[in-house]
Structure 1
Amino acid sequence: MYDILKMPLRYVSRSLRYIIRSEINSSWAHRDQDIQAGLQRKALEETIDYVERNMPGVDSVTSSNELLSKGLSLVKGDGLICEFGVFSGRSINHIASHVNTEVYGFDSFEGLPERWRDGYGQGFFKVDRLPKVSKNVVLIKGWFDKTLPDFVKSQSKAVAFLHIDCDLYSSTKTIFDNLGEKIKPGCVIVFDEYFNYPGWKEGEIKAFHEFLETHHLKYEYIGYNAKHEQAAVVIKAPA
């Protein structure tokens, strides 16, 4: 075997060119056969088309926290502040730092109740202990369909701000089925998995539009994350 450090420079250069060319060719070959990468490219193309058709003039942001902050800045009145899908507590603590009222965080902490998509099976996102949260955060542990009915009965206020970070169509539908009567014009909703992933048309966005149709409400986009999957809306009264 040759020691490349002892080879003449002209041969080293030739050898390096060969290695680099081989690596590039190999990389392209793998990329062309990468199904997941292809599915994501397709999802991105569909999302770009959706943004062009439905969000003209809507300003984008480049992080989920920036979108949460923008949504919170548009909250009017004294209403409920809720997050669905707490996980590590990162986003709910961000929300809590922007308000002077209680923030309700709903999560089973048992992970996904069912498969979401490739790589995210039942139980994904399970945590062994509750996250550390700000003093004004109230965690409500349990599956949404079990915890929401009693919560709704105990609250007289409408919902001012929702952060929906539960991934699944079924979980999002449960939220809207239970909170629907408390979601009024002016309510701000930030979705964490709205689009830009394989299968997005069957997820949170589908449950949201079904809710709008059922309750005869309109909405307006107020922002989206140009680097990921988040979008934010404000609920409007029907024309």
Structure 2
Amino acid sequence: MKRTAKRLLTTGMNRMGFEFHLTRHWRIEPWNTDAEFLRVMEGVAGRTLVDPVRCYMLWQQARSTAPLGGDVAEVGVYRGGTARLLARTVQPTGRTVHLFDTFAGMPAVDAARDLHREGDFAETSLDEVRAFLAGSPNVRFYPGFFPQTAEPVRDTRFSFVHVDVDIYPSVRDCCAFFYPRLLPGGVMIFDDYGFLSCPGARQAVDEFFADKPETPCYLPTAQCMVVRACTAP
């Protein structure tokens, strides 16, 4: 009976010129139902351009790398949304989250590779983000131009790094700095890899890892994930 009704409905709608398809929704969506994830996401949505599905990927990887030890870093903090997500996620494990941003907009771009412009995403400030993250004692701020601001962590090892910087020069600099400091099994996630608005980001990742043992893994979220080979020194 149900099958007949569905067939008649589909046929009737199609005859009237509509494309009508009955589908079943098989995919689970834990980013909408996982109580622990929803708890750490409280207050995040209005402070980031990263959608909940991509945030869920960050949350999973920040948690999964906990047994490695090492610190966490984010380059491209913007208004602090994903920084709060990461800080809340790793605080129980005692890991520090190092936050790098100009807090004044995008730095110089490579006009031959990037579509963004210098000064984009300037709707933020260090004072504003500090206040937003006041409840996260495990964060450290490094305002200014990366990688010059990374000198204080040059001897630090990392287990998780979130790169959300959109443009070729910045993604290239992040790869060059964090890759040799990433623990075996550690994870880097590049937020902008699959976005048509950020062609330079993908080019920088592909070029950097072309001669490395790791293969960047493109995710359906448009993010890219790299897991440090376990043969790393």
> How would you bin the TM-score normalised by the shorter chain?
0.5 to 0.7
Hey, what does 1:233 align to over in structure 2?
A: 226
Q: Tell me if 1:97 matches 2:94.
A: no
Structure with greater Cα Rg: 1
The structure with higher relative contact order (CA 8 Å, sep 6+) is 1
- Per-residue CA deviation, residues 111-166 of structure 1 (Å, 9 max, x unaligned), is 11124754x3211112244312122111111100311234214x3xx210000001
Residue 75 of structure 2 is matched in structure 1 by 84
User: C-alpha deviations, 1:146-200, integer Å up to 9, x for none?
Assistant: 11234214x3xx2100000011110111122223321243111111101131452
Whole-Å separation in 2 of the counterparts to 1:172 and 1:211: 10
Question: Which has the higher mean CA deviation after the structures are superposed, 160-169 or 72-81?
Answer: 72-81
2:203 corresponds to 1:206 = yes
Unaligned runs of 5+ in 2: 1-50
Partner of 2:187: 188
Mapped to 1, the partners of 2:102 and 2:142 lie a distance apart of 8
Contact 1:103 1:138 in 2 (8 A): yes
Paired amino acid for 2:61: G
Q: Is the 8 A contact 1:105 1:138 kept in 2?
A: yes
Cα offset for 1:205? 2.6
- TM-score norm. by structure 2 comes to 0.64
The aligned runs of 1:135-154 (5 Å cut-off) are: 135-153=137-155
Report deviation, 1:222.
8.2
Q: How many residues are paired up?
A: 168
**Range that drifts further, 180-189 or 92-101:** 180-189
Task: Flag the 1:220–1:125 CA change in 2: closer, same or farther, 3 A.
Answer: closer
Deviations 1:16-36 (A, max 9, x none): xxxxxxxxxxxxxxxxxxxxx
Cα distance change on mapping 1:129 and 1:162 into 2, 3 Å: closer
| Residue in 2 that maps onto 1:107 | 101
Residues 63, 90 of structure 2: 8 Å contact kept: no
Map 1:65-80 onto structure 2 (within 5 A): 65-75=55-65, 76-80=67-71
Between the two proteins, what is the percent identity of the paired residues? 24
Q: TM-score, normalised by structure 1?
A: 0.62
Q: Is the contact made by 1:74 and 1:188 (CA closer than 8 Å) also made in structure 2? A: no
